[in-house]
Amino acid sequence: MTVIEQDAPPTASTSARRRLPLFLAGLVALVLCAALSLAVGARPVPLAAVYDALFGHAQGREALVVTGLRLPRTVVALAVGAALGVAGAVAQGITRNPLASPTTLGINAGAGFAVVVAIYVLHLNRPAEYVWFAFAGAAGAALFAQALARRSGDIDPVRLALGGTVLQLVLLSWTSAVMLASQRTLDEARFWLAGSLADRTLDVLWPVLPTLGLGLLLALTVAPALNALALGDDSAQALGVPVARIRLAGGIAVVLLAGSAVAVAGPVAFIGLAAPHLVRPLLGGDHRLLVPGCLIAGPLLLLSADILGRVVIRPSELEVGIVTAFLGAPLLALLARKAAR
C-alpha cells in the first residue's frame, strides 16, 4: 500500500500549482517575443512606436508597417506555432515515440503534396483555397504511416518513425516532380513550400480557425488519457481507457492541427518535434501539463525563428521554414541518438 501511494502521480491541481511560475514565465517570454516580432524587420521600429501604433496614438509609415504587416504576421505565427507544438505533443503521446511529429510522420509532407497537386490540377493561387486539400493530404499520410507501423494489431514506435521518414521522402520527391512538370506550379508553390509567414494576412487565418480550434479542443480533451497510453495498450485498457477511441481522437487532432498550420504557412518543420522536448524537462511527462505547455512553447519557437530569419540577412529575410529546418536538423539527430541508447 505504501508503494502505491508513493508512485501515485500528483493530482492535476497540485501539479498545476507547482508549475504555475513556469507557465507565467513562458507567457511573459511569449509576450516579449511577440513585441519583438512587431518591432524587428528590414525597417526596425522602436517599441514605443509599436505601442503607439497598436493603441492608435500614431499614424504614418511606421504605424502602417506595425498594424498592416507585422501584426497579422505575428498573430498567424502564434496560431501556427500553437497548432504545431500541440500536434507534436499529441503525436508523441498516441504513438509512444519521442521522435514523432507532423514532420517525421510524413503528415506535413502529405499536406504539402496534396496542395501542390491541387495547384497543378485546379490552378489554385491563394492559401485560403489550400485548406481542404491540406487536410486530405495530412489525413492520408497519417493513415498510411500508421498502416506501415502496425504489427500484430499494435503500433510499433520504431516502425512508425522509419515508415514516416520514408513516406516523407517519397512525398517530397513526388512534390518536386509535380512542380518540375509545370513552371506555373513551381512559381506558385515554391515559396509556400519553404514554409513562410511573410505576407500572411488574417484573411488566410480565418478559414482554418474552426478546424484549428477543434484540433486544440480535442488535444486538450485526450491529454489526460495519454498518460495511460504511455504505460502500453494493455495497461491502459486495464485502467479502463478506451485505447482505440483515444488514439483515433488524438490522430484526428494531429491531422486538424497540422493541416491547418500547413494550409496557412506551408510545411514548417521541427516545431512539433522540438516543442515537447523543450517543455518536458520543465513540466514533466504529465500530458495534462505538457499539452498546455506546448501551446506556449510552439508559438515561442516559431516567433523566435521568424525574428531570426528577418535579421540574419537583413534587409532581405529567410523563410521561417528554412530557419527551423536549419536549427532542427541537429536536434533530430541528437534525439535519434538519445532514443537509440
Task: Evaluate whether 205 touches 233 at the Cβ level (below 8 Å).
Answer: no
Question: What is the reported pLDDT for 223?
Answer: 93
Question: What is the reported pLDDT for 1?
Answer: 37
Three cell numbers, residue 148: 506501415
Q: What is the 3 state secondary structure string of the chain?
A: CHHHHHHCCCCHHHHHHHHHHHHHHHHHHHHHHHHHHHHCCCCCCCHHHHHHHHCCCCCCHHHHHHHHHHHHHHHHHHHHHHHHHHHHHHHHHHHCCCCCCCCCCCHHHHHHHHHHHHHHHHCCCCHHHCHHHHHHHHHHHHHHHHHHHEECCEECHHHHHHHHHHHHHHHHHHHHHHHHCCHHHHHHHHHHHCCCCCCCCHHHHHHHHHHHHHHHHHHHHHHHHHHHHCCCHHHHHHCCCCHHHHHHHHHHHHHHHHHHHHHHHCCCCCHHHHHHHHHHHHHCCCHHHHHHHHHHHHHHHHHHHHHHHHHCCCCCCCCHHHHHHHHHHHHHHHHHHHHHC
Question: What is the reported pLDDT for 74?
Answer: 94
What one-letter code names the amino acid at 105? L
Task: Evaluate whether 103 touches 168 at the Cβ level (below 8 Å).
Answer: yes
Instruction: Please state the pTM of the whole predicted model.
Output: 0.86
Task: Evaluate whether 175 touches 108 at the Cβ level (below 8 Å).
Answer: no
Q: Which domains does the chain have, with CATH numbers?
A: 39-340 (1.10.3470.10)
Question: What is the reported pLDDT for 335?
Answer: 65
Question: What is the reported pLDDT for 198?
Answer: 83
pLDDT per residue rounded down to tens, the chain (341 residues): 333 333 444 455 555 566 888 889 999 999 999 999 998 887 888 888 888 888 877 677 777 888 888 999 999 999 999 999 999 999 999 888 887 888 888 888 898 899 899 888 888 777 677 778 888 888 888 888 878 777 666 666 667 777 888 888 899 899 988 888 888 777 777 777 778 888 788 888 888 899 999 999 999 999 999 988 888 778 888 888 888 888 889 988 998 999 889 888 888 888 998 899 889 988 888 899 999 999 999 999 999 999 998 888 877 888 888 888 887 777 767 766 765 55
Q: From the CB of residue 43, how many other CB atoms can be counted at a distance below 10 Å? A: 12
Q: What is the separation, in whole angstroms, between the first and last Cα of the chain?
A: 34
Q: Nearest Cα to 202, choosing from 113, 73, 112, 11?
A: 73
User: Does the bond joining 315 to the residue before it have cis omega, within 30 degrees of 0?
Assistant: yes
Phi-psi region of 123 (alpha: psi -120 to 50; beta: other; left: phi over 0): left
Spatial separation of the C-alpha atoms in residues 7 and 124, rounded to whole Å: 55
